[in-house]
Structure 1
């Protein structure tokens, strides 16, 4: 495939140290790309290439969309930080447009008086692969965590489009803490980006290089040491297939435990193992090398698929199953005490093993908040206002809107000691944090043992899962097989997504019958009482309907009877698809 990159013509200022890019005007459709009607789960994803059968051609207008947003992030970031010369870490995954966007971003931030930091190791060759690390390459989880692991990093700009196809790229940014920016700050960025007519950027910049990968791996080892003994990984072989790049940071992490990592060096488009792949290719390699575990990863390193060798043959497990089984083993067999913070459409089969359950909206802009609230950390009010946060007690749901609400939950629990906070989402994101619950002045107070990560950070879970599997645990034994979950999608523009949500919002608390099955219609709303997720509840199933924040789709999820769940999902999806929306 031929990759054609471009550079935008710059107006050179001879007597100054900056150039100017004069921007094209935006159409109404382009404005909605930068300020979408349905907010993304995190950051902003936009197309940057036009694709033919044999070429990826970078588009001038689409590149300008990115530069607008980057300029706005730099300006709004300074305003939020209240600093004249902040520090920014600018990194990207291995997408074709990465180097172009890193260079422009570094020059734009440099003009705004930021000190530029890059991830080191450019040119690094990973043994056994054809991979050569490009400019400031880093995985999204390690990038966001760096805002907590480095005291001097004020803002992180991560250039990635996660599991989207290669015509896309995206921008995630983190200010002071590793929680994706949302709410009013994101709106301010979009509005400023749309209003720009020109961009000033430095002619050059001199980045400071840091090895944030190494610091992340050191931190991960501390987290994991509080959860499980990893000695069993020594001299074990693990196959890893990253669908973009070769994940050198995870390879180094596994090798630090004494494991031998075999890389499948083959990128896939889209870089998403849940999209489908050649399973036989993996299992043949497992047989050839006598390997028990194969790990498949998307570009963000959070959409996980494991293939494990069991007594009954090979078994493919997706994120919902992996995390549910893992937490059931940790609580039942290893007596670990955990707080379960999961997205609303995720698997409920580990709820009974948790001391406390919270459910949230989709994405870490919701998930990441609970632990910061539990640790009495101050958060921007706009993030709380747009968050979907509930305490789940059996089948009752209580909305969480303040630190006091969270404190009430833990004081009723009246537990002291280490608590493993588990943050996870149905699409694959997972994060472990360790908090200590102590009694002070007749109240339970939670304090973080290590820097808190409020974004997807699945590497610790990967190490724990590998350790459990090598200990001999069969994950399937810890899943209630009478309940099954899956999802489907319906194609819908942002405008149609909003029409679906408006339609069902008017049906809340009503009953409906689909193919002879009766459902109660309910909803979860944010702290501003805006309906965000619709649910259909029957006697033996729960379905969730929500607009996707990462593409033109409505997502429909089901957890129901293992014999009928697929047909039931098909029936409901057909019903929704056939609605006549004015």
Structure 2
């Protein structure tokens, strides 16, 4: 069937509720919107499902989520009786429909005889990962669209290690989704009935308490300046309670919270796009920080798996630090301090993605720590921790990627902004006691290791035409690479689509110049964007910025030439 026929089917089938039909009637004269909603079904990948809320096969709604939940149930049954008995841990964020989708998952699992364990209220993504491991579940579900705008939601699937599913499991789930031709075939019982039967269970408070203990065990130094002043915003998401609780237990009492962004708000009214990767997310925090003389400002995204940072400079203004700079600082602090305390494990490893900067690699090398690279995504980064559990050949210490995701330790196998927020505050307090800001420390790092700089450019292209143009851009760069940019000469090209080392194939291109600078290009896996990552090395900031400008200009011209 074409998209118009599928639209008519949804509109005229009594199975779909009145809310759905009203939504569909509201777009009856908008051909482009009808096409976008029905030209394909949401595809289940390693990131699960993600899309705009609304009626349609290409939208997040209870029918598409129901297909995904039943497909996960069938996949668990494929893995045997033990998998069914171990069940699924579930959490959800503050977004519209998140609680509904989480409870629907419990209802569908119960209809298949599969146990579920669900948090009673909003909880961060890392706590979902932790619950899977703590409760020995076979799988997990986190209902979230992370940092996407308010009209989005998502459905992330996890496997028994507590990390996001890889291609093999994603393929099995996608296959079972394809088998569901009629939505009427999705089995479900009421959520309250699932609770009464014992198949659905609320997660005990002791699990959360054990998580806090694990986070506190990451502490490296107690002898820090606990009078440090911290401005904090959860951006109306799930981080408000756990981050403040862990900082309180850690002894940091001067925590100032942005009141307008303190409590859950699925509209993200004060920020719109709740992505702390962008400095504008700190607008309210900066005002609060100046009013209270805060040393640093930290911000979490709505599902609290990522953390961003601003640091006050000598003029009293706040300087935004991107994920590469935060990662370099954390690497330096963790590795130097643990080395000094002589408590690094044998064969220690830092894991980072292929589009993350190399400053941390230089730092790790100094302290005898191997750097291992993976494809983007914490399913791959924490996948290395899972691998080392099996082989015992190496020990995962710290992992991160440039998009402000960090994982220190292994009790959680995904990005964890609760633990990362604690470590950032500890780090800032440690250096404050030495009379240094984190900007001072970063400059010390540059002086020792060289001036590494970076820039990310994202081009948003929505809809069918946008996706096709992104594909054409990738092919243009693939077929006609930039051989010189200014005085920089191309040295090496890696096309991850062809396969590289033992990496799974991915549509990503990486270009290395002879001076050590490089850039990478890839379509986003979760948003309608093409992303350009640019990295330079210079003798000072001026030279590094000049190189960034040259590479960006050349790449933008090439991207703009593709229509």
TM-score (norm 2): 0.76
Q: Deviations over 1:481-511 (max 9, x none)?
A: 732111002345444444444454456xx76
Any residues of structure 2 matched to 1:513-524 within 5 Å, and which?
513-514=484-485, 517-523=488-494, 524=496
The one of 35, 48, 51 equivalent to 2:53 is 48
1:363 paired residue number: 377
Q: Secondary structure at the match of 1:65?
A: helix
2:405 paired residue number: 429
Q: Provide closer, same or farther for how the CA distance between residues 138 and 78 of structure 1 changes in structure 2, counting only shifts above 3 A.
A: farther
In the alignment, is residue 475 of structure 1 matched against residue 435 of structure 2? Answer: no
Tell me how far 1:233 sits from its aligned partner: 6.1
Tell me how far 1:295 sits from its aligned partner: 0.9
Q: Provide closer, same or farther for how the CA distance between residues 230 and 171 of structure 1 changes in structure 2, counting only shifts above 3 A.
A: farther
In the alignment, is residue 35 of structure 1 matched against residue 15 of structure 2? Answer: no
Q: Provide closer, same or farther for how the CA distance between residues 236 and 530 of structure 1 changes in structure 2, counting only shifts above 3 A.
A: closer
Superposition RMSD in Å: 3.3
Q: Provide closer, same or farther for how the CA distance between residues 239 and 548 of structure 1 changes in structure 2, counting only shifts above 3 A.
A: same
The one of 331, 352, 372 equivalent to 1:342 is 352
Q: Provide closer, same or farther for how the CA distance between residues 363 and 28 of structure 1 changes in structure 2, counting only shifts above 3 A.
A: same
The one of 518, 523, 547 equivalent to 1:547 is 523
The one of 301, 317, 321 equivalent to 1:317 is 321
Q: Secondary structure at the match of 1:101?
A: helix
Q: Secondary structure at the match of 1:554?
A: strand
Any residues of structure 2 matched to 1:113-512 within 5 Å, and which?
113-120=113-120, 136-151=121-136, 153-196=137-180, 197=182, 198=184, 199-203=186-190, 204-206=193-195, 207-209=200-202, 210-211=204-205, 212-222=207-217, 224-225=218-219, 228-230=220-222, 232=224, 234=226, 236-245=228-237, 247=239, 248-260=241-253, 261-265=255-259, 266=261, 267=268, 268-277=271-280, 279=282, 281-313=284-316, 314-332=318-336, 335=339, 337=344, 338-354=348-364, 355-375=369-389, 377=390, 407=393, 421-433=397-409, 452-471=411-430, 472=432, 473-476=436-439, 477-478=441-442, 479-480=445-446, 482-492=451-461, 493-506=466-479, 512=483
Q: 1:99, 1:279 → 2: CA distance? A: 28
Q: Secondary structure at the match of 1:109?
A: helix
In the alignment, is residue 110 of structure 1 matched against residue 110 of structure 2? Answer: yes
Q: Deviations over 1:331-374 (max 9, x none)?
A: 34552645221001112112122220111100012111222222
Q: 2:249, 2:221 → 1: CA distance? A: 14
Unaligned stretches of 5+ residues in structure 2: 1-12, 18-23, 25-33, 262-267, 539-543
8 Å CA contact retained: 1:343, 1:361: yes
1:131 paired residue number: none
Specify which structure has the higher proportion of strand: 1
Q: 2:460, 2:229 → 1: CA distance? A: 41
Number of equivalences: 477
Tell me how far 1:27 sits from its aligned partner: 8.6
Specify which structure has the higher proportion of helix: 2
TM-score (norm 1): 0.74
Tell me how far 1:30 sits from its aligned partner: 4.6
Any residues of structure 2 matched to 1:52-67 within 5 Å, and which?
62-67=61-66
